[in-house]
């Protein structure tokens, strides 16, 4: 994913089609001058539908489609012929897409499975023709129903990346380097903050053709929950990860404090993130000897699985995969 092409937020105006009007027609033929009512029903208006597509990773294809309108239903005709149904508009979206009302931010639906279809706005119902209203006492009704109007509103589509493991850490903690080593992903890597500007996904191969997905989220800084740094825009991607791998470099002044700052930012963003399983990886550990590692172990936070690794030197990568696989499947 290159930065300009990764779009995880779009705002759209959606309008489903109006239902067609019913017909108030009467049967008129050469030898039947006073035929009964034969007006057909109006057609249903087109729906606005969201459909999950596992081949999509971004909302880029919807960025410039600001107004989405479905077709109106056709009017009913004579001889009880019903009107044409309005054509539906199907918006294909990546898995992990959430639809919200743009005014009050109420969640409308979410798409998590390939091929899943959800009607976002139903089309208006077609009106009944006068044939439906004839009775023993009213054999020639002069009226038919109009179709109902479709629904319209502004909608926000947000993409939350679906992954088994989400990498959480400050900028320059070594997350992108780790992703490039354990998977075929090729994120931009450089020695300055915020190299990663978009979430990057990588498939990690494990034993016996098993695999899992890691998401590298742009670095968090203190105050991210209030919008500092890259802020809230990317914190939401962490919500979809089963396991959170906190990455803190070995040369950090205080590993435990750095971990607690990261944890606090996630808590302020969404307290439910505290329920996710957490693992702590100490990156760049090739600069540590065994004595330093033992000293650091005594300073690490309690109650969380932790290990040392170095992406550059290849140290501890097998252990990392083992720990993550075990944690995911617990």
* Neighbouring residues of 126: CB distance < 8 A, sequence distance ≥ 6: 19, 20, 21, 22, 41, 42, 43, 44, 45, 73, 76, 82, 83, 147
Residue-wise pLDDT tens for the chain (330 aa)? Answer: 444 556 788 999 999 999 999 999 998 877 777 778 999 999 999 999 999 998 888 888 998 899 999 999 999 998 899 999 999 999 999 888 999 999 999 999 999 999 999 999 999 999 999 999 999 889 889 999 999 999 999 999 988 877 889 888 887 777 888 888 888 655 444 444 444 456 677 788 888 888 888 888 776 655 544 444 454 556 677 777 889 999 999 888 889 999 998 888 888 878 888 888 999 999 999 888 888 888 888 888 888 999 999 988 889 899 999 999 999 987
Q: Which domains does the chain have, with CATH numbers?
A: 1-159 (2.70.210.12), 163-329 (3.40.50.300)
Decide: 317 and 182 in contact? Cβ < 8 Å: yes
For residue 157, which of 197, 105, 122, 199 has the smallest C-alpha distance? 105
Q: CA dist 264 to 60, 153, 222, Å?
A: 32, 36, 9
Sign of CA pseudo-dihedral 219, 220, 222, 224 = positive
User: Helix (H, G, I), strand (E, B), or coil: what is residue 280?
Assistant: strand
Q: What is the pLDDT of residues 241-296, one digit of tens each?
A: 889 999 999 888 889 999 998 888 888 878 888 888 999 999 999 888 888 888 88
The pLDDT value given to residue 266: 84
Q: How far apart are CA 130 and CA 80, in angstroms?
A: 9
User: Helix (H, G, I), strand (E, B), or coil: what is residue 109?
Assistant: strand
Angle made by CA atoms 239, 266, 202, in degrees to the nearest 5: 45
Q: Does the model's pTM come out above 0.95?
A: no
Q: Which strands, in side-by-side order, build the sheet including 48-52?
A: 89-93, 48-52, 117-121
Decide: 81 and 40 in contact? Cβ < 8 Å: yes
For residue 324, what is the enclosing H or E element? helix 317-329
* Neighbouring residues of 163: CB distance < 8 A, sequence distance ≥ 6: 201, 213, 214, 215, 240, 241, 242
Q: CA dist 267 to 7, 168, 245, 273, 282, Å?
A: 25, 13, 15, 6, 21
Q: Which residues pair with 154 in a beta bridge?
A: 13
* Neighbouring residues of 320: CB distance < 8 A, sequence distance ≥ 6: 178, 182, 281, 307, 309
Sign of CA pseudo-dihedral 93, 224, 264, 321 = positive
């Amino acid at each position: 994913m290159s930065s300009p092409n990764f779009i995880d937020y779009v705002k759209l105006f959606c309008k489903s089609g109006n239902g067609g009007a019913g017909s108030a027609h009467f049967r008129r033929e050469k030898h039947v001058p006073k035929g009964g009512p034969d007006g057909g029903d109006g057609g249903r208006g087109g729906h606005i539908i969201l459909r999950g597509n596992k081949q999509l990773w971004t909302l880029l294809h919807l960025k410039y489609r600001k107004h989405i309108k479905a077709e109106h239903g056709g009017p009913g005709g004579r001889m009880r012929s019903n009107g044409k149904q309005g054509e539906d508009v199907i918006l294909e979206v990546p898995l992990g897409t959430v639809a919200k009302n743009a005014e009050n931010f109420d969640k409308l639906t979410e798409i998590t499975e390939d091929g899943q279809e959800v009607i976002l706005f139903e089309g208006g119902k077609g009106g009944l023709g006068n044939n439906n209203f004839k009775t023993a006492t009213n054999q020639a009704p002069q009226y038919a129903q109009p179709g109902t109007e479709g629904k319209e509103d502004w909608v926000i589509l947000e993409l939350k990346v679906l992954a088994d493991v989400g990498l959480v850490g400050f900028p320059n903690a070594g997350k992108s380097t780790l992703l490039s080593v354990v998977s075929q992903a090729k994120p931009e890597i450089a020695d300055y903050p915020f190299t990663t500007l978009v979430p990057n996904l990588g498939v990690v191969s494990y034993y016996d053709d098993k695999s899992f997905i890691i998401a590298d989220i742009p670095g968090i800084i203190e105050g991210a929950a209030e919008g500092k740094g890259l802020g809230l825009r990317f914190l939401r991607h962490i919500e979809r990860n089963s396991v959170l791998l906190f990455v803190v470099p070995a040369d950090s002044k205080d590993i435990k404090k750095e971990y607690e700052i990261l944890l606090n930012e996630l808590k302020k963003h969404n307290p439910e993130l505290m329920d996710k399983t957490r693992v702590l990886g100490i990156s760049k550990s090739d600069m540590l000897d065994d004595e330093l590692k033992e000293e650091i172990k005594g300073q690490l936070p309690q109650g969380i699985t932790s290990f040392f690794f170095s992406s550059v030197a290849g140290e501890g990568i097998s252990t990392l995969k083992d720990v993550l696989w075990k944690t995911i499947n617990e």
